[in-house]
Amino acid sequence: MTESDIITAIREELARMAPEIAFETLDPAADLREQADLDSMDFLNLLTALHQRLGVEIPDADAQALETITGAVAYLARKAAKSPET
């Protein structure tokens, strides 16, 4: 799984819940939830979708690491590299 795969996954899952957001205009270093107006249910659904789609474990305690796009890509890439391919 490449970083580009991860970005594609985030973009597509975000488009499902916030179709009016232009992904390219988001600041990857800023809080995604503030920028995309995601509430706690939206954010949990985003984590659920990324977990199921990418097969990466995202413990609740790590959820904060995914609050920016940059943070999410780094976290998911690191976790994917650690877990064996199935």
Partner 1 sequence: MISFRMPSLGADMEAGTLVEWLAKPGDKVKRGDIVAVVETQKGAIEIEVFDTGVLDRLLVEPGAKVPVGVPLALIRAEGEAPSLAAPAPIGGTAVAAAPAQGPAPTPIKPPAPAPFLPAEPHVRISPAARRVAAERGVDLARVTGTGPGGAIQLADVETAASPARPAGFDFTQMRAAIAAAMARSKREIPHYYLSDAVDLQPAADWLARTNAERPPERRLLMGALFAKATALAARAYPEFNGHFAEGAFRPSAAIHLGVAIAIRGGGLVAPAVHDAADLSLDDLMAAMRDLIGRVRGGRFRSSEIADPTLTVSSLGDRGVEALFGVIYPPQVAIVGFGKAVVRPWAVDGTLAARMIVTITLAADHRVSDGHRGALFLADIGRRLQQPEAL
Show the site string, 12-31: x = touches partner 1 by CB under 8 A, - = not. -----xxxx-----------
Q: Which of 3, 27, 30, 52 binds partner 1 (CB under 8 A)?
A: 52
3-state secondary structure (DSSP) of residue 31: coil
Cα distances from 48 to residues 10, 33, 38, 78, in angstroms, run 12, 15, 14, 18
The answer to whether 3 and 73 have CB atoms below 8 angstroms apart is yes
Show the site string, 61-80: x = touches partner 1 by CB under 8 A, - = not. x-------------------
Instruction: For residue 35, state whether it binds partner 1 (rule: CB under 8 A).
Output: no
Closer to partner 1 by CB, 53 or 74: give it.
53
Query: CA-CA distance, 44 to 78, in Å (whole number)?
Result: 20
- Comparing CA positions, the residue from 6, 14, 15 lying closest to residue 71 is 6
Instruction: For residue 44, state whether it binds partner 1 (rule: CB under 8 A).
Output: yes
Binding site for partner 1 (CB under 8 A): 17-20, 33-34, 37, 39-41, 44-45, 47-48, 51-52, 57-61
